[in-house]
Structure 1
Amino acid sequence: MKRHFKFLVMVAMIFCLSLTLITGCGNKKAASTNAKKVEGPSGKLMIYTSIYPDIIESVKPALQEAFPNLEIEWFQGGTEKVVTKLTGEIEANKVSADLLMVADPSYYLTLQDQDLLLKYDAPNRKDVQYKDEEGYWTGVRISNMIIAYNTDKVKDEEAPKSFKDLLNPKWKDKLAMPNPLLSGTAFVTAGAISDAFGWDYFEKLKTNGLKVEDGNSKVQNKLITGEYDVGIILEENILKMADKGEPLKVVYPEDGVVVVPSPIAIFKTCENPEAAKAVENWWLSKEGQEAIVKGWMHSVRNDVVPPKGAPEFKTFGDRAFKVDWAKLAKDNEQMKETFRSKVME
C-alpha cells in the first residue's frame, strides 16, 4: 500500500514538473509574440493634415495595429488653416509637426525652398506616381475637383458636362464653389482654370451668380438641401454622401478634371525621424493606400482599386488640367488677391 502511495506521489510530481515546463515554454512563446508586437518605432509623432476628421478616425485602428508602440497625435484643419499655423511656427522656429499631409502640392515647394523638409526615399516610393525626384515629398492621395449636382433638382441629361457649361444662364444663382482663400484644393482649381481659360471665366461665373462658400463641406451640405443645383467641389465629398443615399452625383468634366495629388513630407525638425519615415512608408504601402481609398480618395498606386462609386483614375486623369505648381507656389498671395477682387467683391 505504501509503495503504491509513493508511486502515485512520484507520478504527480512528474506531472507537475512537466506542466511547469510546458507552461514556461508557453510563457516564453507569449513573450516572444509580445516582443514582436512592440517592434518598430516608439515614442510620439505629430501629423498636421487637411484630411477630414472622420477619415482620420477610420484609419487610426490600422495605424495602431501597424505601430502599437507609437503614439500618433493629429492637428486637423483645412489646408489654409494648417498653413497659417505652420507659418507662425516657422517664424517662431518652433515647428511642432513631424509629418505634413495637406492638399496643396505647391506649398511643399515653398517648404522645400525654405530647406525645411527632410529628404527621404521611402522604399514604397517606387510604386507611387506623383513624387519629387529628390525625395523631399511624395504624393499620398489623389483628390479631384469635379462638378456635382443635386439629382432631385437636375436631370442627368440636363446636368452640366464641363466647367464651361456652368456659364449657361440656366445655372444663374444656382451654383457654388469653395473659397480658394481657405481651401487648398479650391486654390489649385482657381489657378488651373484661370491658366486654362483666363480670369474672365471666373468673372463670368460671378455674373452668373456664383456663390463662394467657406469650404467643400459647405458646398456639399447646400447641394444636399437643394440651395444649389450644381457646384464645383471635391469628388470625395460627393462619393461619400451619395453612398449614404443623398441625391448627389459626380460629373467628370469633359474640359478637364482638376487633379490634386496631395503629398506627404517629413520636417527636418522632426524629433522622431525613424518613426516619421516608418509611418510615411506605411501610407505609401498597399495597406496604407487602401485606407486612403476607404476615405473616398484615389490611390497614388496602380494596384489599388478606386473608391466606391468612382471610375478608374485613368479614365479621366489623362484629360486633367495642367497645373503649374511652381507658379502657384510663387504667386500664391497674388492669385488669392486676384480671385478675391474679381469674384468675391
Structure 2
Amino acid sequence: MLSLLLALSVFFTGCGSSSGTGDTGGPSSSAGSTSGSSSGSTAGSGESSGGSDVSGSLMIYTSIYPDIINLVSPELEKAFPNLKVEWFQGGTEQVTAKLAAEIEAGKIGADLLMVADPSYYVYLKKQDLLLPYKSKHFDDVAVHKDTEDHTFAGVRISNVVIGYNTNLVKPEDAPKTFRELTDPKWKGQVVIVDPTLSGTALVSTYALSQKYGWEFFEQLRDNGAVVGGGNSAVETKLVTGEFAVAVILEENLLKVKDRGEPVEVVYPEDGVIIVPSPIGILKTTQNPEAAKAVVDWWLSPEGQKAIVTGWMHSVRTDVESPKGAKPLAEFAPTAMNVDWEDLSARAGEIKDKFVKIMGQ
C-alpha cells in the first residue's frame, strides 16, 4: 500500500493544482432509497451527523452507472435508514449541462455532485458554488482533492485504456500504445468515446492532444476511427465485434470481461489516463448535515469497497483494486499528465476542436 501511495503522490503532484472522473454518456435515469421526512438544517461546515441521526432527503447528481447505483442504494439505506436518497444519473456532460441550466435559473436541484470531470469542480469552486467540508476521511484520500478549502475530494478513480475484442485480435498483435492506433494496421477498426458526452473522454482528449498534438486526432480520423458515443455505447460496439479496438474506460472492460465477454484490457505504454472523479457538496443544499454524512460514507472503507464492486479503483490505499485490474501503483508513475486548471479553462475549446476534426 505504501508503494501505491507514493505512486499516486508522484503522479498527482505532476498533474496541476490539487485545489482548483462511471461515466455513461447515455440517457438519464433516477433511483433512490426511502424513508425520512425532515427538511434538514442550514448550510455550514464541521462534523457530520451519525447515520441514524441523518434524515430528510438528498439529491445526488452523478455519472456513475445505473447498475452501480442499484448496488449502492441498499448500502446507503442501511447506513442512513431515515434519509431518502434520490439520484439524477447521466453522462458527465449531460449532468453538468443540467446543473449549468439550474445555476443560470438560480434553482439548483443537486445536494451532492459526483461526475467524472475533475476540472468541473475547479470551475464550480471558482464560482463559489461548493460548500467547504473536510471529511473525517479527507486525509485518507490519496488523489485529487482541494487541500486549501476542502470543497471537493476524489471519490473514485477511472482509467482510460485500450480494449480489444479477443475474437478479432490476438494478444501478441494488440496495440501497446495509444499512438499505435494511427497505424494503417488498425484502419477502420478503432472506436473512441465522444468527449461532448463523457467527462472521462474529455480528459483523455485533452491528455492525448497535449501529448501528441491535435495531429493525433487528425491521423485517427484519416485512419477511419469512429466516434461511438458514450462509454456504454462503445463497450457494446467492442463486445459485439463491430470494432476490434476501443479507447474506453478500464471499468467497462473489467465488467464485461468478468461476465465472459471476449474483451481484454491494454494498459498503454505511453501512459494510462487516470481520472480521479471527485465528490462535492453544492453550497445551496438544504440538508448540509446529510450531505456531509454521505460524503463521509463514500470516502470511508465501506463506501470505497462499494466503489470497487463497480470496477473502479478506490481513492484510499487500504482498499484493494477491482477484480482483474492491474494495481494503480504499477501504472500511475507513467500515467499521462493532466493540468486540471488548464482543462477547466479550455474545456469548451477542446470539445469544439474535437468536433471540428472528427466531423461530429
- Contact 2:129–2:283 (CA<8 Å) still a contact in 1? yes
SS in 1 for 2:277: strand
Q: Distance in 1 between matches of 2:356 and 2:105?
A: 31
Q: Determine if the alignment matches structure 1 residue 50 to structure 2 residue 52.
A: no
In the other structure, the counterpart of 2:122 is 109
Q: CA deviation at 1:40?
A: 2.1
Q: Determine which of 334, 337, 344 is the counterpart of 2:349.
A: 334
TM-score of the pair, normalised by structure 1 = 0.88
In the other structure, the counterpart of 1:167 is 182
Q: Distance in 1 between matches of 2:132 and 2:359?
A: 39
Q: Distance in 2 between matches of 1:312 and 1:190?
A: 24
Q: Distance in 2 between matches of 1:254 and 1:59?
A: 34
Q: Distance in 1 between matches of 2:247 and 2:359?
A: 16
Q: Distance in 2 between matches of 1:40 and 1:76?
A: 27
What are the superposed Cα offsets for residues 174-203 of structure 1, whole Å, 9 maximum, x if unpaired?
Answer: 001110111100000000110111110111
- Contact 1:99–1:265 (CA<8 Å) still a contact in 2? yes
Q: CA deviation at 1:344?
A: 2.2
Q: Determine which of 139, 143, 147 is the counterpart of 1:126.
A: 139
Q: Distance in 2 between matches of 1:122 and 1:56?
A: 22
In the other structure, the counterpart of 2:197 is 182
Structure number with higher helix proportion: 1
Q: Determine which of 226, 235, 254 is the counterpart of 1:220.
A: 235
Q: Determine which of 284, 291, 301 is the counterpart of 1:269.
A: 284
Q: CA deviation at 1:38?
A: 7.2
Higher gyration radius (CA):
1
- Contact 2:51–2:293 (CA<8 Å) still a contact in 1? no
Q: Distance in 2 between matches of 1:207 and 1:85?
A: 34
In the other structure, the counterpart of 1:299 is 314
The one-letter amino acid paired with 1:170 is K
- Contact 1:220–1:238 (CA<8 Å) still a contact in 2? yes
> What percent identity do the matched residue pairs reach?
57
What are the superposed Cα offsets for residues 94-132 of structure 1, whole Å, 9 maximum, x if unpaired?
Answer: 001000000000000110010000000000011111211
| Equivalent residues in 2 for 1:283-294, closer than 5 Å | 283-294=298-309
Ranges in structure 1 where 5+ consecutive residues have no aligned partner: 1-36
Ranges in structure 2 where 5+ consecutive residues have no aligned partner: 1-49
SS in 2 for 1:117: coil
Q: Distance in 1 between matches of 2:358 and 2:256?
A: 28
Q: Determine if the alignment matches structure 1 residue 194 to structure 2 residue 223.
A: no
Higher relative contact order (Cα pairs below 8 Å, separated by 6+ residues): 2
Query: CA 1:128/1:165 → structure 2, altered by over 3 Å: closer, same or farther?
Result: same
TM-score of the pair, normalised by structure 2 = 0.85
Q: Distance in 2 between matches of 1:296 and 1:176?
A: 21
SS in 1 for 2:334: coil
Deviates more, 1:242-251 or 1:317-326: 317-326
In the other structure, the counterpart of 2:249 is 234
SS in 2 for 1:141: strand
The one-letter amino acid paired with 2:326 is P
Q: CA deviation at 1:144?
A: 0.3
Q: Determine which of 77, 80, 99 is the counterpart of 1:67.
A: 80
Q: Distance in 2 between matches of 1:286 and 1:344?
A: 44
